[in-house]
Amino acid sequence: MSGKLEVSFNSPQCGWMSIGFDDGVSEFHTTTAHAPHESALPELMQILTDLTTESPAPRERTLKWNRDPEEFDFRFVREGDKMLLQIYQYPTDDRSFAERELVFTHLDIAGNVIDAFLVTFDQLYADRETDEFEFNWRAAFPFAEYEEFKKRMI
């Protein structure tokens, strides 16, 4: 059985950001690039915002992100009060389904998964000026998406 999910998004540098996922049983760390999936960070916040509410029917959302040349799918499946997070890695931007590899998986109460992301988003927000987020990520901090996500958490 896995433990509490910890998510880390470190300060961006030169258009790259180190991210990590650890649940005490498995862990996955990588870097991500701001391009070509320039809207990945705001999309991630939107996906999690959408999945904050419970629904009787399973809901699935997938986020595409990259490291160049590797690409990732962050797959979220919410069913009732449970959420599954799976991260798949593709060796190139061809995104060949046959070549993808499951590099991280975590199943937990949805609120626990969402809270883990909230902690790291709050840290990114708090450090955005010190870290010169916009300059270093090559994109603006997603204020609107962050605020909407925070509102849903209250």
Q: Does a structural domain hold residue 120?
A: yes
H-state helical runs in the chain: 40-50, 110-127, 133-137, 143-153
The count of domains in the chain is 1
Q: Does a structural domain hold residue 33?
A: yes
The CA distance from 89 to 71, in Å, is 6
Average pLDDT, the chain: 94
- CATH number of the CATH domain containing 115: 3.30.2450
Single pTM value for the model = 0.94
Q: Does a structural domain hold residue 15?
A: yes
What is the span of the domain harbouring residue 132?
6-153
Using 50, 70 and 90 to split pLDDT, how confident is the model at 56?
Answer: confident
Q: For residue 2, what pLDDT is reported?
A: 72
Q: Does a structural domain hold residue 1?
A: no
pLDDT at residue 154 tops 70: no
